């Protein structure tokens, strides 16, 4: 029994030290938020609140099953947040919250769940369709119980969710300070290739729109002596032509390939969780476990894209074009700890 108590105390001390080091590294805004930096409810907040706030002390045994997740999964978040803050400082990227409050693009990309006090900044091509499906179930916007039975068109319908842009500035500021904020990211060039395949190679309704809206334009701009049929249909764009279009800074990017750092402003917004596509199921279920016992992220088939196939596609690009893409997505590479070279 004595050894068990010593072990338990040692584990608590480890959590205390890890939390204290991280907490003292936060800036003044973070410290003012206090407990809100972590989840509003659930094991993690309760377990650490005795360290951060000196309140709500509970016996360790209540959280025995979750201790592994706390010391492993949540330290991943701490590491990601520390890395991001360090890179924001090195790159001299703005952490001005006031600029975020005026950023219409950012405000329109953050879904609000008032009941569960969640803010989700969605990044297209990083499982955002499934996240919207999950949030529909969580927020009881549908009678469908199986997440994947919800159609993509319904999940993406314009008025399905409230966004930060629908609220007053004081309300937005309050939510950003007190709600649990999360986003999900992906290797920038893998995301770019996914956007190309989904929007310009497949035959969904949205793909047909992209071929008409972007495919024809890309053929006209980047294919000398294009055939009349190609100019009319825009359905045979090569990845190199698409990458050339994306690399042209004179053209406004579509959200499906716009850098995540521009969409979600992570240097100015203190996200509680920055999930990664590579650990999608684990990270998503961690977020959901703190607001629901029943709703979980769907199991998805193994992605067809591998590092080898992505590398092969990128290696076929001219070196200067690849360098230009790496420059465009530099903030995403550095802030989210991805390597440009695969």
pLDDT for residue 246: 97
For the stretch 284-302, pLDDT in tens is 999 999 899 899 999 887 6
Range 126-132 average pLDDT: 97
pLDDT for residue 304: 63
For the stretch 160-191, pLDDT in tens is 999 999 999 999 999 999 999 999 999 999 99
Range 123-149 average pLDDT: 95
Let me know: does 186 contact 127? Beta carbons within 8 Å: no
DSSP 287: H
DSSP string covering 29-40, please? HHHHHGGGGS-S
CA–CA gap between residue 6 and residue 2 (Å, rounded): 6
154-166 in b/e form (b: 16+ CB < 10 A) is ebbeeeebebbee
Best CA proximity match to 40, nearest among 331, 336, 273: 273
Q: Where are the alpha helices (DSSP H) in 156-306?
A: 169-178, 188-196, 205-210, 216-222, 228-233, 239-247, 260-264, 280-289
Q: Cα 26–27–32 angle (5° rounding)?
A: 90
Q: 3 is written with which tokens?
A: 């050894």
């Amino acid at each position: 029994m004595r050894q068990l108590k010593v072990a338990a105390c040692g584990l608590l001390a480890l959590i205390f030290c890890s939390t204290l080091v991280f907490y003292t590294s936060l800036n003044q805004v973070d410290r003012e938020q206090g407990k809100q930096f972590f989840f509003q409810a659930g094991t993690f907040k309760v377990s650490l609140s005795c360290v951060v706030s000196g309140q709500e002390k509970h016996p360790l045994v209540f959280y025995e099953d979750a201790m592994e997740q706390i010391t492993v999964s949540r330290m991943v978040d701490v590491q990601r947040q520390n890395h991001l803050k360090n890179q924001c400082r090195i790159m001299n990227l703005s952490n001005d919250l006031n600029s975020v409050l005026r950023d219409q693009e950012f405000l329109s990309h953050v879904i609000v769940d008032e009941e569960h006090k969640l803010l989700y900044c969605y990044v297209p091509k990083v499982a955002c369709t499934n996240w919207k499906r999950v949030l529909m179930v969580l927020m009881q916007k549908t009678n469908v119980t199986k997440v994947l039975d919800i159609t993509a068109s319904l999940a993406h319908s314009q008025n399905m969710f409230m966004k930060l842009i629908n609220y007053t500035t004081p309300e937005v500021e309050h939510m950003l300070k007190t709600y649990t904020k999360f986003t999900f990211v992906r290797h920038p060039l893998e995301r770019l290739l996914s956007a190309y395949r989904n929007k310009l190679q497949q035959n969904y309704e949205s793909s047909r729109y992209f071929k008409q809206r972007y495919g024809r334009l890309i053929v006209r701009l980047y294919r000398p002596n294009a055939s009349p049929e190609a100019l009319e249909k825009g359905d045979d764009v090569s990845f190199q032509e698409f990458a050339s279009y994306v690399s042209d800074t004179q053209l406004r990017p579509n959200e499906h390939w716009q850098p995540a750092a521009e969409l979600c402003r992570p240097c100015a917004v203190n996200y509680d969780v920055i999930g990664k596509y590579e650990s999608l199921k684990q990270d998503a279920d961690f977020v959901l476990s703190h607001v629901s016992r029943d709703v979980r992220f769907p199991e998805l088939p193994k992605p067809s894209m591998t590092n080898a196939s992505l590398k092969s596609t990128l290696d076929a690009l001219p070196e200067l074009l690849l360098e230009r893409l790496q420059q465009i997505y530099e903030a995403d590479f550095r802030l989210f700890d991805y390597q440009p070279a695969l």
